[in-house]
Amino acid sequence: MSETVAALEKALGGLKPDTALVLGSGLGDLVNEVPNPVRIPYGDLPNFLKSGVTGHAGQVVAGHLAGRPVVMLAGRAHYYEHANAAAMRPALEALAGIGVKKLILTNAAGSLEPGMGPGSVMLIADHINFSGSNPLFGEPTDRRFVGLTEAYDRGLCSAIEAAAVATGTPLHKGVYMWFSGPSFETPAEIRMARIVGANAVGMSTVPEVILARFFGMRVAACSVITNLAAGMTGSELSHQETKDMAPLGGARLAAILKRMFADGLD
């Protein structure tokens, strides 16, 4: 792993960001808000796993967002691509290794709430791991017993909520349920998800939250809603719909995140 940290540090020059963003579907344009960025293709970083999912770039983009140092992971490797819930472990371990202390994750998700339709943004208050997997399977040390009672950092969540208010951007708050994917859920699974307390469903983020807590980072996460979940409308779900609809909520979430950076986050 130290070779990954060394490669990343070298590429970043003297830049020492303490905050990182993982850009999911719809957030890719946020890299354009970074003037004169350093761009490093994942392929140039040892151990980094690439995403083969269309709509996901595969590069580290570093520089300043609203004047503050940041490192962005534009594109993520998913559990369903690699059959490995720890697909993002090398990338997150490298971020921790260069001194990143705060991680903000973004994703596209399906909504269980008729009043939280496509284009909405949801702050993840808590999650349900329904994948049956865990990125810490096989971790041999006692550090694997990571507490998740406060997985989502209060301070970072408050800063996101404050930035939403300041920008006049509606922000929902709810529970995200991780399904392994890559097939979408069935209507029966969505009815179950509602019964157990989920507000949105998706195929990412939860393993990264667990890993980030394992590495001692503070975490916050937001979903951009691309669709109402399976069985809630007459139509079938598709990845094309995710890609088409993500930029809508993505632009809203980008405004929130820019404001959050401008105001500073501690």
Question: Smaller CB distance to ligand HPA: residue 184 or 215?
Answer: 184
Size of the site for ligand HPA (CB under 6 A): 14
The interface region with ligand HPA, picked from 75-83, 90-98, 108-116, 168-176 by CB under 6 A, is: 108-116
Residue 74 CB burial class (10 angstroms; 0-12, 13-18, ≥19): buried
Residue with tokens 């690439």: 50
Per DSSP, helices labelled H in 51-132 are: 79-82, 89-97
Residue from 5, 109, 146, 256 in contact with ligand HPA (CB under 6 A): 109
> What string marks each residue from 165 to 204 as x (binds ligand HPA by CB under 6 A) or -?
--------------x----xx---------------xxx-
For residue 110, state whether it binds ligand HPA (rule: CB under 6 A). yes
Residues 13-52 that bind ligand HPA (CB under 6 A): none
**Which alpha helices (H) appear in the chain, and where do they start and end?**
2-12, 79-82, 89-97, 154-167, 187-195, 206-214, 239-263
Query: Which is nearer to ligand HPA, 68 or 243 (by Cβ)?
Result: 243
Give which of 81, 25, 77 is closest to 51, Cα–Cα.
Answer: 77
Find the helix or strand (DSSP H, E) in which 129 lies: strand 121-129
Should residue 131 be labelled a site residue for ligand HPA when binding is judged by CB under 6 A? Answer: no
How is residue 110 annotated by DSSP? E
- List contacts with ligand HPA (CB under 6 A): 108-110, 179, 184-185, 201-203, 226-227, 229, 237, 242
